[in-house]
Structure formats: C-alpha cells, structure tokens
Structure 1
C-alpha cells in the first residue's frame, strides 16, 4: 500500500462543496480556538517568544503574511513559524486523541499565512485546513502508540506532512505535486517528547517547524523537486522510523466521508490533555458534595498508564512549563481553588495550600481508563475526607471532545480568559463575529484575522 498516494488523491479531490455544514461550522470553532490558544501562548511563554521573535524578524524580509497580534508581515513560511510558536505556547491548542498530538497550531498557521501570500479566498482556507487535519490525524494515528513510546511527538513528526499537503492544496497543486510535497516533507519530520519532561518552553518548535517546513516542501514540489517513492511505507521511510506497528485502517477508514476535524478536541484548561479528566472530575465532586480543601485527606486518580508517563512525573512544579505537565498540580489547584486557569500556571502565585495538596494526590495506573476504539481517555477520581468517607467520579471523555463538545458560549468564555490584557470585551466580540463568519461569503479573500 502507498498511503501517500491514497492521501494525495484525497487532498486533490476535496472541494468545499464536499464538506458538511457541521464540518464547516467546526472549522470556524477550531479557528476561534486557534486564536485563543495563540493569545494564551503569546502571554505566558514570554522568554521563548522574545527569542524566536528576535531571530525571525532579524532573518526575514518583509512579506505579505500577517504575524498574529502585530502589524508585522513576513514571508508565509516565517509568519507560519512564528504564529505556530504562539499557538502552542500555553498548551491550550486543540488536539486529536487517536493521533496523540496537536493539529490546529501547525495547520491553521500554515493555511492562514500561505493563504494571505497567495491571495486565497476563505473557503479555500477552510478546505485546505480540513485536508490538513485529515492528513495529520490519519498518519499520526496509524503510527500510534508506537510513535509516542519511541519518544516522538506526532505534532511535529506528522504535522510537517499535513502542512505540506495543506500548503500544496492552497497552491492548487495536482495530485502528483501533492504527493511529492508530502514525500519531501517526511525527511524534515522532527519533534521529541522530551519536551513533556523538561524544557517545555521549546515545545512550540515542533508545530512551528512543521508549518515552516511544510510550506518549504510544497514550494519545492511546485518547482519540480521530487521526493522519495513510498515515503511512508518504504523500509527506510517515515513509518519504519517512527513506529514498530502500523495500523493502515487509520489511513483509509472513512477517508473522504468523515473528517478528522470533527473528531478532534478543544481544551478548556491550559495544560496537557492528560490532566483534564482529573481536573474535571475533582471540580464535579466539589460541586456535588460541597467539598472543602481542608477536609480532603487524600485524592486517588485512577488513570491510564500513558498519562502517568507523560504528565505524572512532576509532583511539585518549579516553573509554569512544569505546571502544564503535572496531574498532581492541576488536580490540587482544582481541589483547593475550584478552577485551573492561566493564572495558576505560575506555582509561585498560588496559596501554599495548593502545593501542600499535591502531596495528598496519588496516581494509580488503570488501563481500563483508555480505549482508542471507543474514544475513551479519562480517569476515575476518589476523594477521601478526614472522616474516612469517600466519593468518586469517573470522567471517560473530558470536556472538549466531540461527545462532550465545546459550544460557541464555551469558546467565548475561553477567549475571555485568553484575551485578558490583550483585547477589551468589545474587541473580543468583534473578533468572535469575524471568526464565526469566516468563509460565509463566496470569494472573500483571507486577510489578517487579529486586530
């Protein structure tokens, strides 16, 4: 099987008219989420942002593609790189369970920046984004869980393939050129999961390089450069390098009939998705039983082993980056404060009682809390009080997944949190109106999406 040929045909054939109304509405919702995540990343990942901004602006000529929250314009590849850095900077961007990684940070950064440079219309952007989501989710899911167990981050390693395909789609490439864009991109696949353990501030480089190199790959392909044959299945290809076991069903099942953006999730909390089930379960228990933190003796979180591997190693965060990858800390914030927002990422700014609570939290491996086929990736939380009474709550599918989906009102609340200090309420409403009407007018050219 040549998965690249199968996917390139799908990307080439896809039209805006093929997309159900629900899918188009989801693109708008996920576009709004991308902007919210970028606001958050712009605010919290400041040291990294200043460094990449200085480098990118110094190395780049003026271009036609907008840098978010700025009046600067750069060449598409450089604008996509910088915008993806913002979008993944707070770990508040969307993702996909089966792919075990993030999507919008690289796909939207690619299609928006390139679309401005090419003069694409908004419906072309929507179509290319849907194609990019499918390519990323299908390629990454086919290689999971072996890919993450080897220490690779699918956001970067599969993201570059998706961005190459989406970019080639916007460039109006034929099927052969789309194939070669993807084939060229595999040799630039990169991204390691060490960024979940330490050095988390550099994690945005993974989607950022995927976006930049995806545009490069598509540009090379459009200028006649050819990649390798069987770039995924070859014995020296992407699949062989990334994983020991490949599930080709993930490539072909429902291709062109169902769309992966409709199966992706949106994050309500600024932390690794593996923390979300525990946060939600604790908040629900506090609400139902009126639990006060002072009376909590112990919190036991029964959760799937991969969550513990990725987000269960940091008990007491030393930095805001650590906080994003600590089930202990996020759960403690929920138990003591009744919320977990961007303001709690700095562990030095929370009450001592939060840090003390982390010592009462135990993570217990439970493989029944994850089932990829059924869309389950959750946990069971048991809280024991000082009198020995216990209450439990199970969250199999955290808020933000399609089965427990975000609404427009949810997105408005998320924007209010992310936009604090950047946009007034009036500006937020203008932005929401703009994002949720994206593509509603035939032939409307894409333009700067933020004020």
Structure 2
C-alpha cells in the first residue's frame, strides 16, 4: 500500500523546492487581501471580547500584530486571535470539495511567525501556498466522512495546513516537514457541535487551528521528530478522522491545480451551505418585485450537507443566524441584504424576519445530493399568497473558480469590510494596492504592521 504520509509530503516538498509561478504568487496575494478584510471585520465585531482574551492571557508585547486591534503580542496569541477573528464574519474563503476554510488558520499562523522571524514576501507567499495545499488535500481525503462524524474540517485540516505553511515559510528540510506534519495532525481538533444553538465557538476552531499549527511547526524547528507514517494505518490521521481504514493516497496527490487558486471567495456573510439558496432568493426577489406581504411560504431543496446542522428556525444570535439556511433566505427576501447588514443584532431579532424564517422549509434532495461536490445546488420555490409559485435554481453560487467574483466585486468586498472596521477608504485602497502589487514600496510585513 502506498504511504499516504509520504505522498502528501512529496507533493508539498516539490512545491517548496521550485519557484512559485506568477499565478501562484498572485493567487496567494488575493487570498491574503481577502483574509485581511475578513479579519478586520471580525476584530471590529469581537473587539471587547478579544481585548478581554488578550488581558486574561497574561501575554505581553511581542512582534506579531493583532490585526485591527492596535496591539502587538506573542506569535501564538496573535495566531489564535487573528485566526478566530478571520472566521467570525463568515466571509473567509473555502474549498467546496474539502468543505474547509483554509485561509483563517493558514494565513494567521504564517503571518504571526513571519513577523517574529522577519520573513520575506516570498517566504510568506510560499507559506500560504503550501499551507493551503496541505489543508485542502487533507480535507478532500477525509470529507464527507469527517463532517458526518461531527468533525470540523477547518479545525482538523486547518491545523495541519497552518503547521505546513509555517514550516515551508521557514524553509524546513524534509525531516522538519515530516515533524511538522506529525505535530499538526496530533494537535488537530474541532467539533461541529459548536455551531449549534447559542454557541459562539465555531470561529475558535479556526483560531485554535492557527495557534496549534504554529506550535507544531515550532516543535519541528526545535527538533522533535514524528513518525514517518502519521497519516497511515489504523491509528493514523486518515482513519481516525474519516473512520475508513482504506482511504488511499490518491486523494492526496493533488489535482494538477494548486489549491491556493482553487477556492471560493464568499460574497455573502453566512455559511457557504446557505449561499445557493440565498442567491436564488435574491434573484427571485429582484425579478418579481417581491415584498414580505406577498410571500406565504418558501421551500428550499438542496444537498444533504446543506441541511444537516443548517435547517434550524430558532435563531439565538448572530452566529446562529449565519448557520441557518432558513434565516439567511428569509433575511434576503425581506431586506434584500446578504452581507454584514443582514446579520445585525436588530435584524436577527426582527419579528418579521423570524416569522418568515419559520415559514422556510429546507429539505435534502437526493438528486441534488448526488451532484456534490461538483455542484452545490439549491432550488428555491416561493409560494405567493396569490397562488403563484416562483422558482429558481443555482448550481454553483457566486465566488467559486467557475463563478468568480469580478475584480471590481473583489475590491468592493475588501473596501466594505475595511470600512466596517473603521479603516479610512483612502488608506484601505492603498493597502489593497500594496498587497496585490509587488512593485509597490514596502513589504507585506510593513503593510500588516500598519493595521
């Protein structure tokens, strides 16, 4: 049997030891800018609680920036705080085949260590590329079994991605990369139980993954060796996380396209499973001039993974709302909003939105389920009080590589998030220019340090 561990490591080592293509560099810069917008917004949303976390940690000043909070601290704490904040707004990137959000854990860990070690732009970009590759390849291998078992891929795969991203950025040798992989896999955790009810801990899965992955890489730097087959066998990562001992190494070979360029960028501020229904609802609202008084009920048919854990109608807060297909569709139909504005405390408690939320029925369709992961389809039927039934279907919501945001839409998303966080529009535009254009004066670390 092929050693899955060495298959993954060989692929990552090959990336590390060849110059990045111009496309890979630009994709990494795009991922970084999107991450910064999400993290700034998350920091604004959770400012008071994050400041309490920093105070309670006892950590003093350090080299790593707490993005959007005006402080610098130790890299491990920065990875935790930034990784958590990057996932708070539910706008961070993801991969539909692995059902994983790589950016929050990977970039948080890489940036934290880059600031501590004074790494170059090329080191940072390499760390992002390798980290995404590790997280997404592993997620593709263990999904959908991991989600069915209640495991959150952003936690269990993001930890490994963060470890390998930092290890690559630090240019560790093969033994060091193996040790980082072993450390990342044994530190990996994250339960989907935390997305239910009044829980607000889903973003912690991303933050913990960043912190634990960084620690795993530093254990490798210190010389702590790991097994050469940590992914393999009955007690290896693939079996433990997927429940299937016959997982093969083929899933870890890669697709021929670097994973850093094979992610979706979210246009809507909710769980990705909500996006196809929301998009269909917005299209129908605009096309037919729908107002709340015209809607009797709504039927949503979608794939199984978008129903499990996402069909609740009792909304307990902002985090609960972002996880609910029912709420997201109702809010889109009533307000016409799908971004941050749809999830204000006022909207989440709005009796009109909550009433329609309870009249949205979400069900799994076997035919749509069979299309996953190539498509994440949803059909929305709006039953009007006059007897009309309005219908629309979305196979892939906006933001996938096949349905990518335009350059203008991408820029608008970042500027909107930066503005939400209080960043001056001129400064935000200048930051975007510096991150995306390598010819601009100042390194990436200089740009991050200004936040």
Q: Which residue in 2 is equivalent to 1:423? A: 423
SS at match of 2:300: strand
Quick check: 198-207 or 236-245, which moved more? Answer: 198-207
SS at match of 1:14: helix
CA deviation vs aligned residue, 1:378-428 (integer Å, no higher than 9, x gap)? 201111211211121111101111111123311222234323251122222
CA deviation after TM superposition for structure 1 residue 17, in Å: 6.0
Task: Verify: 1:35 aligned to 2:52, yes or no.
Answer: no
Task: Verify: 1:219 aligned to 2:218, yes or no.
Answer: yes
Distance 2:435 2:399 in 1: 19
Task: Verify: 1:327 aligned to 2:328, yes or no.
Answer: no
CA deviation after TM superposition for structure 1 residue 74, in Å: 2.0
Q: How many residues align?
A: 445
Quick check: 382-391 or 14-23, which moved more? Answer: 14-23
CA deviation vs aligned residue, 1:160-193 (integer Å, no higher than 9, x gap)? 1111111111121111110111112211111000
Q: Is the 8 A contact 1:66 1:72 kept in 2?
A: yes
CA deviation vs aligned residue, 1:193-228 (integer Å, no higher than 9, x gap)? 012213542222212121112121111112221112
Change (3 A) 1:352 1:110: same
| Gap runs ≥5 in structure 1 | none
Distance 2:373 2:318 in 1: 33
Change (3 A) 1:388 1:19: farther
SS at match of 1:423: coil
Distance 2:208 2:78 in 1: 11
SS at match of 2:391: strand
Q: Is the 8 A contact 2:435 2:447 kept in 1?
A: no
Q: Which residue in 2 is equivalent to 1:251? A: 252
CA deviation after TM superposition for structure 1 residue 445, in Å: 6.3
Q: Is the 8 A contact 2:40 2:421 kept in 1?
A: no
Q: Which residue in 2 is equivalent to 1:296? A: 295
Change (3 A) 1:333 1:33: same
- 1:29-178 residue pairs with structure 2 within 5 A? 29-46=30-47, 48-56=49-57, 58=58, 60-178=59-177
SS at match of 1:376: coil
Distance 2:387 2:67 in 1: 52
CA deviation after TM superposition for structure 1 residue 22, in Å: 3.1
CA deviation after TM superposition for structure 1 residue 374, in Å: 5.8
CA deviation vs aligned residue, 1:262-284 (integer Å, no higher than 9, x gap)? 21111112211111111100111
Q: Is the 8 A contact 1:183 1:228 kept in 2?
A: yes
Q: Is the 8 A contact 2:150 2:193 kept in 1?
A: yes
CA deviation after TM superposition for structure 1 residue 8, in Å: 2.3
Q: Which residue in 1 is equivalent to 2:433? A: 433
Quick check: 349-358 or 177-186, which moved more? Answer: 349-358
Distance 2:97 2:424 in 1: 37
SS at match of 1:101: coil
CA deviation after TM superposition for structure 1 residue 153, in Å: 0.6
Task: Verify: 1:7 aligned to 2:5, yes or no.
Answer: no
Q: Is the 8 A contact 1:303 1:366 kept in 2?
A: yes
Distance 2:241 2:66 in 1: 32
CA deviation vs aligned residue, 1:48-78 (integer Å, no higher than 9, x gap)? 424422233x2x2432222212442223222
CA deviation after TM superposition for structure 1 residue 247, in Å: 5.0
Which residue of 309, 313, 316 corresponds with 2:314? Answer: 316
Q: Which residue in 2 is equivalent to 1:338? A: 336
Q: Is the 8 A contact 1:297 1:384 kept in 2?
A: yes
Q: Is the 8 A contact 2:123 2:170 kept in 1?
A: no
CA deviation after TM superposition for structure 1 residue 102, in Å: 0.8
Quick check: 341-350 or 150-159, which moved more? Answer: 341-350
SS at match of 2:193: helix
SS at match of 1:201: coil
CA deviation after TM superposition for structure 1 residue 371, in Å: 5.1
Q: Is the 8 A contact 1:119 1:445 kept in 2?
A: no
Normalising by structure 2, we get a TM-score of 0.92
| Gap runs ≥5 in structure 2 | none
CA deviation vs aligned residue, 1:221-242 (integer Å, no higher than 9, x gap)? 1222111231111321211211
Distance 2:48 2:440 in 1: 40
Q: Is the 8 A contact 1:379 1:395 kept in 2?
A: yes
Distance 1:247 1:304 in 2: 26
RMSD across aligned positions (CA): 2.2
Distance 1:83 1:421 in 2: 14
Quick check: 398-407 or 360-369, which moved more? Answer: 360-369
Change (3 A) 1:17 1:443: farther
